[in-house]
Amino acid sequence: MPPVFGQKTAKKVIEEVESNLASLTKLELIKNASFCMKCAENTVALSAALAKNTVLKAVVLRECEINDAGVEAIAAALEHNEAIEELDLQQNNITTSGVIALAKSLEKNRGVRTLNLLGQTQKVIGDDAVEALIAMFEHNTTLVKIILKVTCRRFWEVSKLITRNVSIQKAKASGTDASHLMPRAKPEEVAAKPAVAPPAKAEDADDSSTRASAVLPSDASAATSGVSSPAPAASGEGSPDSEVM
């Protein structure tokens, strides 16, 4: 559908986001003609404003002609913004590489709870994006709903991880212990950490050499809306429309 005229200009919207306007808790740009006319430029400018905004809870950029370069700018903003809880990017021009960029940024983000990526020009998002989402959940315990269209056989794993995140968020909300649900460090990550040096022996007290000891740092739904994609049947086929909640 063609862009809609008569809405706020992109410049005005970006200025409001930059100003951290207290009353602006939801940004909704749907087929905004002003935004679409210079989509690449406006998406970068808006993303820079979003990175500093602490008020917005929902961002709806639907049918705004956003491509992978634009979504990479949004992904960069999410590494700094933890106020946004809902991100709706339906019906844009995002492909597998754009979803991968979002997944990588969500490894660091602790705000986004719902992500909607339905209706992209690439009708079915590729398997690499699903792999990136699975890897993202090794760090993310906040995202509880993701909506997108995939056919990857492993998407049931995303659904399972969304369910885990939902349980973690419910536990936190009720004040109960969720440590048993938290992601576990991979063996290779543990191996990569420096070993703790043993305490110096008494007989080494006069050793003129200096010894350093290392200190180790130590409701979710898979949607393609929470993920409502069942575990694959024996054939291994995934659901074409996956919604995780």
Q: Is 17 exposed, middle or buried (0-12, 13-18, 19+ CB in 10 A)?
A: buried
Per-residue confidence at 109, pLDDT binned at 50, 70, 90? Answer: very high
CA distances from 76 to 4, 134, 175, 217 (A): 28, 19, 32, 26
Where is mean pLDDT largest: 8-12, 70-74, 209-213, 221-225?
A: 70-74
Residue 21 counted as domain residue: yes
Query: Where is average pLDDT lowest: 129-138, 205-214, 221-230?
Result: 205-214
Residue 22 counted as domain residue: yes
For the segment 6-18, the average pLDDT, to the nearest whole number, is 91
For the segment 92-101, the average pLDDT, to the nearest whole number, is 97
Lookup result for tokens 């754009």: 98
- Bridge-based pairing state of the strands 58-62 and 145-148: unpaired
Lookup result for tokens 């404003």: 49
Q: Give the tokens for residue 109.
A: 């983000």
- Give the per-residue pLDDT at 160: 96
CA torsion angle 18 70 79 32 (round to 10): 40
Where is mean pLDDT largest: 177-186, 195-204, 231-240?
A: 177-186
Q: Give the tokens for residue 44.
A: 């970068």
> 224 or 138: which carries more pLDDT confidence?
138
Residue 36 counted as domain residue: yes
How many independent structural domains does the chain possess? 1
Taking alpha carbons only, the member of 149, 124, 158 closest to residue 241 is 149
CA distances from 192 to 62, 121, 195 (A): 42, 41, 9
Residue 43 counted as domain residue: yes
Per-residue confidence at 244, pLDDT binned at 50, 70, 90? Answer: low
Q: Does 240 score more than 90 pLDDT? A: no
Q: Does 6 score more than 80 pLDDT? A: no
Q: How far apart are CA 222 and CA 143, in angstroms?
A: 8
Residue 106 counted as domain residue: no
Domain containing 60: what range? Answer: 1-93
Q: Does 198 score more than 90 pLDDT? A: no
Q: Does 210 score more than 60 pLDDT? A: no
Q: How far apart are CA 230 and CA 236, in angstroms?
A: 11
Give just the sign of the alpha carbon dihedral 91, 95, 98, 104. Answer: positive
Query: Where is average pLDDT lowest: 2-11, 170-179, 207-216?
Result: 207-216
For the segment 53-62, what is each residue's pLDDT rounded down to a tens digit?
A: 999 999 999 9
Residue 227 counted as domain residue: no
> 192 or 120: which carries more pLDDT confidence?
120
Q: Is 12 exposed, middle or buried (0-12, 13-18, 19+ CB in 10 A)?
A: exposed
Residue 238 counted as domain residue: no
Q: Does 74 score more than 50 pLDDT? A: yes
Look up the CATH number of the domain holding residue 21.
3.80.10.10
Dihedrals phi, psi of 88, to nearest 5 degrees: -115, 110
Residue 129 counted as domain residue: no
The answer to whether residues 21 and 56 touch, using CB atoms and an 8 Å cutoff, is no
